[in-house]
A = this chain, B = another copy of it.
Amino acid sequence: MTPVPLETLNAAEAQTFVAALGEVMEHAPWVAESAFAARPFGSLQALYQAMVEAVRNAGDARKRALIAGHPDLAGKAAREGKLTADSTAEQAGAGLDRLSDEEFAAFHRLNDAYKQKFGIPFIVCVRRHGKESILRAFERRLHNDAAAEQDAALEEIFRIAALRLDQRVAAPDRLKVHGRLSTHVLDTHSGRPAAGISLELCEIGAGGSARLIRRAATNADGRTDTPLISGMPIPIATYELRFAVGDYFARRKVPVADPPFLGVVPLRFTVAEPEGAYHVPLLVTPWSYSTYRGS
């Protein structure tokens, strides 16, 4: 999807404007219609706020209809390919399109319990979460009362909208919807950045299963050429960075044990703020290593 410049939207007729932004809120083009009246927008942030205010100022029936218009997570509609394009991509990004039968059953059960208690579908901005994190949120929110849960649903809708806007509109400013995960490796045996270290970023699931997200190698500065994750929220999840430290020191002919004390070094950590900056470095010798959340 090529983003539309904000100025183009500012100059557009209602029909074009709504065509561009009508799907920012699921099945609710009236939000874009309402925002149209507030043109022109000095920033993407202002456009976003106008859409949020349109919802906040709407009557309760419209709010409930907006909420009710969202699909179940990992639900029947998803299995049957009946979701909007946005929802399809979002659910797939969080891995909801490749659930095991057991996980599918868990989602099914939680969806039912939630709908029975609240009469609305469970809404969460899935691009900010890994699978386990969605399930944890599900369990936690089932304990809310109806009013709190309506508020929670709207907040999630606004988060979804912010990400959809971020993809659709080009503007000088950016919404704060992206995080950043980076690493670097310092070889404290030789006192220099460790170049050429192969590494993997995995997401760690329940039970310790690992799903490879990305492979990379450190450059002459001990960093990866691009951040491990950027331009998107970092899904709330547990990750493991795995560094091929043994190979690195072997290539450098550093005398080590046989087999070496450190082969692949795993750093395991959990992301709680999808829009945060997570720098997770490795300081390493053939006999020791350390890490910390840096900035």
The interface of chain A, by Cβ under 8 A from chain B, is 133, 136, 186, 188-193, 208, 210, 221-222, 236, 238, 240, 257-266, 268-270, 272-273, 283, 285-295
What are 23 A-B pairs with beta-carbon distances under 8 A? A186-B292, A186-B295, A189-B287, A190-B287, A191-B261, A191-B285, A192-B295, A193-B295, A222-B295, A238-B263, A257-B270, A257-B273, A260-B272, A261-B272, A261-B293, A262-B269, A262-B270, A287-B292, A287-B293, A288-B291, A288-B292, A289-B292, A290-B291
Closest residue of chain B to A285 (Cβ to Cβ) is B188
Closest residue of chain B to A210 (Cβ to Cβ) is B208
Closest residue of chain B to A258 (Cβ to Cβ) is B272
Q: A270-B260, A285-B189 are in contact. Are A290 and B293 (CB under 8 A)?
A: no
Query: Shortest beta-carbon distance, A267 to chain B, in Å?
Result: 9
Stoichiometry, as copies per complex, reads: 4
Contacts of A210 in B (CB 8 A): 208
Question: Are B287 and A259 closer than 8 Å at their CB atoms?
Answer: no
Question: Are B265 and A295 closer than 8 Å at their CB atoms?
Answer: no
Query: Shortest beta-carbon distance, A185 to chain B, in Å?
Result: 11
Q: A193-B295, A210-B208 are in contact. Are A188 and B272 (CB under 8 A)?
A: no
Contacts of A272 in B (CB 8 A): 257-261
Closest residue of chain B to A265 (Cβ to Cβ) is B268
Question: Are B186 and A294 closer than 8 Å at their CB atoms?
Answer: yes
Complex CA–CA separation, A226 to B93 (angstroms):
42
Which residue in B191, B238, B283, B289 is a CB contact (below 8 Å) of A286?
A: B191
Contacts of A193 in B (CB 8 A): 295
Nearest 3 CB-CB pairings of A with B: A290-B290, A191-B287, A288-B292
